Structure 1
Amino acid sequence: MKKIILAASLLGCLLLAMEKPAYATSSVERLDGKNRFEVAVNVSKKGWVNGAETVVVANYSTFADALASSPLAFKENGPILLTQANILTKETKNEINRLNPQKVIIVGGPASVSDSVKREINKIVPDVERIGGKDRFEVALNISKRLGDTQKAIVVNGLKFPDALTIAPYAAKNGIPILLTLQERIPESTLLGLKEKSSTLVVGGEGSVGPSIYNQLKASQRIGGKDRFEVATNIIRTLNMDSGRSYISTGLTFADALTGSVLAAKNNSPMLLTRPDAIPDTTREIIIEKDIKSFTVLGGGASVQGGVASILRPVVNTHTLEGYSDRISYFPGETIQLKVHAPNKKFSVSFFRHGKEMKNYFQTGYMTGSSQNYFGDSYRAGAFWKTSYSYKLPLNWPTGMYSAKLSDGTNEFHVTFIIKEKTPQRDDNAVLASTNTWEAYNNWGGKSLYSYSYVNGTRKYNEVVSSNRPNPGALPTGNEGHLANGERHILSWLERNNHSYSMITEFDFHNTPSLLNSYKSLIISTHSEYWSTSMYKGLENFLKRGGNVLYLSGNGIYWKVALKGDLIEVKKDGGYHSFTSERGGNFYRIGQHETKLVGVGYRSTGFSVPAPYKVMNNSHWIFSNTGIKKGDLIGRTGLNKINSSNGGASGWETDQIDRYTPKNSVLLAKGTNTIGAGADMIYYDHPGGGGVFSTGSITFGGSLAVDTQLTKMVNNVLKRFGH
Structure 2
Amino acid sequence: MGTEQIRRWESGALAHAVSDPFAQGPLPWLRDAEHYFDDGQLVPWYVELGSGQSRSGLIPAPRRTGGSPKTADDVRGQIKGFASAGAVAPGESIDFRVTVNPPQPFGVDIYRIGHYAGDGAAKITTSPRLSGLVQPGPLSAERTVSCHHWWLSWRLQVPSYWSPGAYVAVLTTDDGHRSHVPFTVRDFHPADLLLLLPDVTWQAYNLYPEDGRTGASLYHAWDDGGKLLGEREAAVAVSFDRPYAGAGMPLHVGHAYDFIRWAERFGYDITYANARDLHAGRVDPSRYRGLVFPGHDEYWSPQMRRHATLARDTGTSLVFLSANTMYWQVELAPSVSGEPDRILRCRKRQGPGRPLLWREQGLAEQELLGIQYVGRVPEPHPLVVRNAGHWLWEATGAHEGDELTGLVAGEADRYFPRAPLPEHTDRILLAHSPYHDAGGVRRHQETSLYRAPSGALVFASGTFAWSPALNRPGHASPVVQRATANLLDRICKRD
Query: Which TM-score tier does this pair reach, normalised by the shorter chain?
Result: 0.7 to 0.9
**What's the counterpart of residue 275 of structure 2?**
506
Residue 209 of structure 2 is aligned to residue 440 of structure 1: no
Residue 388 of structure 2 is aligned to residue 618 of structure 1: yes
Query: What's the CA shift for 1:607?
Result: 3.5
Query: What's the CA shift for 1:600?
Result: 1.4
**What's the counterpart of residue 427 of structure 2?**
665
Match among 293, 301, 304 for residue 524 of structure 1: 293
Counterpart-to-counterpart distance in 1, 2:276 and 2:484: 27
Aligned residues of 2:323 and 2:461 also touching (Cα < 8 A):
yes
Counterpart-to-counterpart distance in 2, 1:396 and 1:671: 46
Query: What's the CA shift for 1:523?
Result: 0.9
Counterpart-to-counterpart distance in 2, 1:472 and 1:440: 12
Counterpart-to-counterpart distance in 1, 2:478 and 2:345: 40
Residue 106 of structure 2 is aligned to residue 333 of structure 1: no
Counterpart-to-counterpart distance in 1, 2:231 and 2:296: 28
Match among 368, 373, 376 for residue 602 of structure 1: 373
Counterpart-to-counterpart distance in 1, 2:91 and 2:428: 45
The structure whose residues are more often helix, as a share, is 1
Per-residue deviation, residues 264-305 of structure 1 (Å, max 9, x unmatched): xxxxxxxxxxxxxxxxxxxxxxxxxxxxxxxxxxxxxxxxxx
The 3-state SS of whatever aligns with 1:327 is coil
Counterpart-to-counterpart distance in 2, 1:474 and 1:336: 21
Point out the structure with max Rg over C-alpha: 1
Query: What's the CA shift for 1:365?
Result: 4.3
- Which letter maps to 1:572? K
Residue 81 of structure 2 is aligned to residue 323 of structure 1: yes
Aligned residues of 2:331 and 2:344 also touching (Cα < 8 A):
yes
Aligned residues of 1:526 and 1:700 also touching (Cα < 8 A):
no
- Which letter maps to 2:488? L
Per-residue deviation, residues 334-362 of structure 1 (Å, max 9, x unmatched): 11111011123211000000111210000
Aligned residues of 2:232 and 2:349 also touching (Cα < 8 A):
no
- Which letter maps to 2:323? G
The 3-state SS of whatever aligns with 2:94 is strand
**What's the counterpart of residue 631 of structure 1?**
401
Aligned residues of 1:561 and 1:584 also touching (Cα < 8 A):
no
Per-residue deviation, residues 361-389 of structure 1 (Å, max 9, x unmatched): 00134321101122441762520211111
Counterpart-to-counterpart distance in 2, 1:535 and 1:414: 27
Change (3 A) 1:514 1:391: closer
Query: What's the CA shift for 1:486?
Result: 2.3
Per-residue deviation, residues 626-666 of structure 1 (Å, max 9, x unmatched): 221101112x2xxxxxxxxxxx2211011111132347421
Aligned residues of 1:332 and 1:419 also touching (Cα < 8 A):
yes
Counterpart-to-counterpart distance in 2, 1:433 and 1:575: 31
Query: What's the CA shift for 1:670?
Result: 2.4
Match among 372, 387, 402 for residue 152 of structure 2: 387
Residue 231 of structure 2 is aligned to residue 467 of structure 1: no
Per-residue deviation, residues 147-175 of structure 1 (Å, max 9, x unmatched): xxxxxxxxxxxxxxxxxxxxxxxxxxxxx
Query: What's the CA shift for 1:518?
Result: 2.0
- Which letter maps to 1:417? F
Residue 189 of structure 2 is aligned to residue 424 of structure 1: yes
The 3-state SS of whatever aligns with 1:553 is coil
Query: What's the CA shift for 1:496?
Result: 1.2
Match among 701, 710, 723 for residue 467 of structure 2: 701
Query: What's the CA shift for 1:575?
Result: 6.9
The structure whose residues are more often strand, as a share, is 2
Residue 446 of structure 2 is aligned to residue 680 of structure 1: yes
Alignment of 1:36-115 (within 5 A): none
Change (3 A) 1:720 1:475: farther
- Which letter maps to 1:703? A
Aligned residues of 2:231 and 2:349 also touching (Cα < 8 A):
no
- Which letter maps to 1:338? F
Match among 359, 368, 375 for residue 131 of structure 2: 368
Residue 345 of structure 2 is aligned to residue 569 of structure 1: yes
Counterpart-to-counterpart distance in 1, 2:134 and 2:413: 44
Per-residue deviation, residues 389-447 of structure 1 (Å, max 9, x unmatched): 111011111111101100013211110001101x422x421111111111111111411
The 3-state SS of whatever aligns with 1:493 is helix
Aligned residues of 1:331 and 1:419 also touching (Cα < 8 A):
yes
Aligned residues of 1:432 and 1:505 also touching (Cα < 8 A):
yes
Aligned residues of 1:402 and 1:417 also touching (Cα < 8 A):
yes
Query: What's the CA shift for 1:473?
Result: 6.1
Aligned residues of 1:428 and 1:501 also touching (Cα < 8 A):
yes
Alignment of 1:485-564 (within 5 A): 485-512=254-281, 514-564=283-333
Counterpart-to-counterpart distance in 2, 1:435 and 1:576: 28
Counterpart-to-counterpart distance in 1, 2:456 and 2:313: 8
Counterpart-to-counterpart distance in 1, 2:246 and 2:182: 10
Query: What's the CA shift for 1:590?
Result: 0.5
Residue 118 of structure 2 is aligned to residue 358 of structure 1: no
Query: What's the CA shift for 1:514?
Result: 4.5
Query: What's the CA shift for 1:557?
Result: 0.1
The 3-state SS of whatever aligns with 2:387 is coil
- Which letter maps to 2:479? Q
Change (3 A) 1:436 1:458: closer
Query: What's the CA shift for 1:485?
Result: 2.1
Query: What's the CA shift for 1:685?
Result: 0.9
Query: What's the CA shift for 1:328?
Result: 0.8
Per-residue deviation, residues 241-268 of structure 1 (Å, max 9, x unmatched): xxxxxxxxxxxxxxxxxxxxxxxxxxxx
Higher relative contact order (CA 8 A, sep 6+): 2
Aligned residues of 2:386 and 2:400 also touching (Cα < 8 A):
yes
Aligned residues of 1:420 and 1:504 also touching (Cα < 8 A):
yes
**What's the counterpart of residue 225 of structure 1?**
none
The alignment of Structure 1 onto Structure 2 pairs a total of residues equal to 382
Query: What's the CA shift for 1:462?
Result: 1.9
Aligned residues of 1:317 and 1:371 also touching (Cα < 8 A):
no
The 3-state SS of whatever aligns with 1:526 is coil
**What's the counterpart of residue 140 of structure 1?**
none
- Which letter maps to 1:388? S
Per-residue deviation, residues 581-617 of structure 1 (Å, max 9, x unmatched): xx551011111111011111113x2344222211111
Query: What's the CA shift for 1:678?
Result: 4.1
Aligned residues of 1:554 and 1:698 also touching (Cα < 8 A):
yes
The 3-state SS of whatever aligns with 1:572 is coil
Counterpart-to-counterpart distance in 1, 2:479 and 2:245: 34
Aligned residues of 1:433 and 1:525 also touching (Cα < 8 A):
yes
**What's the counterpart of residue 53 of structure 2?**
none
**What's the counterpart of residue 10 of structure 2?**
none
The 3-state SS of whatever aligns with 2:399 is coil
Per-residue deviation, residues 108-130 of structure 1 (Å, max 9, x unmatched): xxxxxxxxxxxxxxxxxxxxxxx
Counterpart-to-counterpart distance in 2, 1:460 and 1:447: 9
Query: What's the CA shift for 1:458?
Result: 10
Query: What's the CA shift for 1:703?
Result: 1.1
Per-residue deviation, residues 509-551 of structure 1 (Å, max 9, x unmatched): 1111643332110111221000000011111111110110111
The 3-state SS of whatever aligns with 1:490 is helix
The 3-state SS of whatever aligns with 1:700 is coil
Gap runs ≥5 in structure 2 = 1-73, 210-214, 224-229, 335-341
Change (3 A) 1:700 1:687: same
The 3-state SS of whatever aligns with 2:373 is coil
Q: TM-score, normalised by structure 2?
A: 0.72
- Root-mean-square deviation (CA, aligned residues, Å) is 2.5
The 3-state SS of whatever aligns with 1:653 is strand
Counterpart-to-counterpart distance in 2, 1:540 and 1:700: 23
The 3-state SS of whatever aligns with 2:284 is helix
